[in-house]
Amino acid sequence: MPSAFLPFRPSRLAKLLVETSPNGVVMTNSEGRLVMINRRAATWFGYEESELMGQTIEILVPEDQRNAHQSQRMCFESHPRIRQMGEGRELLGRRKDGTFIPVRVSLHPFDTTTGPMVLANILNLNDTSLQSDAIIESERIAAISQMVSGLAHENHNALQRALACLDLLELDLSSQDNLLYLTDRIRVALADLQHNYDEVKRYSAAIALSYSPTELPSLCQAAFDELPVPYRNKEPRLSMTVRTPNPEVLADKVRMKQVFAGILENAVAANPDGGVIDTEFVDANLKDGPGIQTTIRDHGNGLDGNTESRMFDPFFTTKQHGTGLGLAICRRIVEAHGGTILAKNHPSGGTMVSFVVPRQPCK
């Protein structure tokens, strides 16, 4: 290990997320050196974690591809973006014993106080236990649930202590408006932290549905009217087209309102200021019977290929803030109702999210 190598010290939350991931996860610094690797990845590649720390990522690449990989890595570092690595090509990882494993890798750049980092999410295509999307999803949810339960008490107490100290500080600074402005920003940051934690908790929680007659257009309008202030300030307009004589389903009204809120927040954020959000409700069929399809369309820039394919993946986001769980929660709720959901570009521009829920609960 080079003497100049300084280990990355992630937060406890970051360590838990990496270690409990059902996939292999590695992190590299701006020099391409490994600063974190979870047990699953180390096991796949046949190393002890300590053997890899500080090594360049090329140690996991076949020898005849290392020079090319290094050049590609430097190119990626100059224009970092979330993307699938080597799309359309077969990728191989090199194990310690010189054998190879087929892999699929997605890259996620992010900034830290010690400089830019890249998280590589690795899927071992030889690991049959991970071939089923349902298994991957269930393992991911179980891991997140375990993490959240472990942090719940600690997180709540820490936030309460911080808020109590902030209340006392504001009393001492009651006559200093310039400093109270800073305490207001701290309070907003703590609220954001609590929101992010609550969103992770909502995603990992089991979904128990309470069915009642639910008119989808009315619920959509209610969710739109209750959008948070930052979204309402963009003055969006909601255009609604109902193409079914009966837009009512038996559903969990509270949960379905969450779905509308999550999709509408994304649509308004992507839309030009003052733009129209188009919604449409039509009859549709699911394999178990009739349903209603809701389509919500913005008039923004649309999705690139990577975003479109990963729109509902947990922790995937193109925003600077947030957990990337909003649409993942929407998918879980829709699927719990026996429905389906997808996102794609509209032929005339913008993004449309469509979901279908059955008229009656699935038996």
Q: How far is CA 36 from the centre of its chain?
A: 20
Q: Which two tokens stand for residue 149?
A: 């339960």
Q: What is the pLDDT of residue 2?
A: 41
What is the structure's pLDDT at 87? 64
> Torsion over CA of 265, 266, 267 and 270, rounded to 10 degrees?
120
Residue 357: is its pLDDT beyond 50?
Answer: yes
E strand or H helix at 61: none
Higher-pLDDT residue of 357, 178: 357
Q: Tell me the helices (H) and strands (E) count for the chain, helix number first.
A: 11, 13
DSSP, residue by residue, 125-189: TT-GGG--HHHHHHHHHHHHHHHHHHHHHHHHHHHHHHHHHHHHHHHHTTT-HHHHHHHHHHHHH
Residue 298 makes CB contacts below 8 A (sequence gap 6+) with 266, 267, 268, 270, 271, 275, 277, 350, 351, 352
3-state secondary structure of 240: strand
- Amino acid code (one letter) for 199: E
Q: CB–CB of 347/311 below 8 Å?
A: no
Contact in structure between 24 and 133 (CB atoms under 8 Å): no
- Using only the alpha carbons of the chain, give its radius of gyration: 23
pLDDT at position 256 is 93
pLDDT class for 253, splitting at 50, 70, 90? very high
Residue with tokens 């590609």: 72
pLDDT of residue 301: 83
Our CA dihedral for 248, 253, 258, 260, rounded to 10 degrees, sits at 20
CA distance 50 to 341: 42
Q: Identify the band that residue 64 occupies on the pLDDT scale cut at 50, 70 and 90.
A: very high
Closest CA to 325 of 237, 249, 266: 266
Return the bridge partners of 119, or none. Answer: 27, 108
Is 105 within 8 Å of 84 (Cβ atoms)?
A: yes
Q: How many CB atoms lie within 10 A of CB 361?
A: 15
Identify whether the C-beta of residue 81 lies closer than 8 Å to the C-beta of residue 69: no
321: how many CB neighbours lie within 10 A of its CB? 8
Name the pTM for this structure. Answer: 0.50
In this predicted structure, what is the pLDDT of residue 90?
82
Residue 330's pLDDT is 86
Q: Is residue 84 helix, strand or coil? A: strand
Q: What's the confidence (pLDDT) of residue 150? A: 47
Q: For the ranges 61-65, 185-189, 191-195, which has the lowest average pLDDT?
A: 191-195
- Count the residues in the chain: 363
Q: pLDDT for 144-160, tens place per residue?
A: 544 554 455 456 667 77
Q: With a cut of 70, say whether residue 284 has pLDDT above it.
A: yes
Query: What whole-number distance in Å separates Cα of residue 78 and Cα of residue 32?
Result: 13
The terminus-to-terminus CA distance of the chain in angstroms comes to: 59
**What is the DSSP code (8-state) at residue 32?**
S
Enclosing H/E stretch for 265: helix 253-270
Q: How far is CA 248 from CA 209, 219, 253, 332, in A?
A: 17, 10, 11, 21
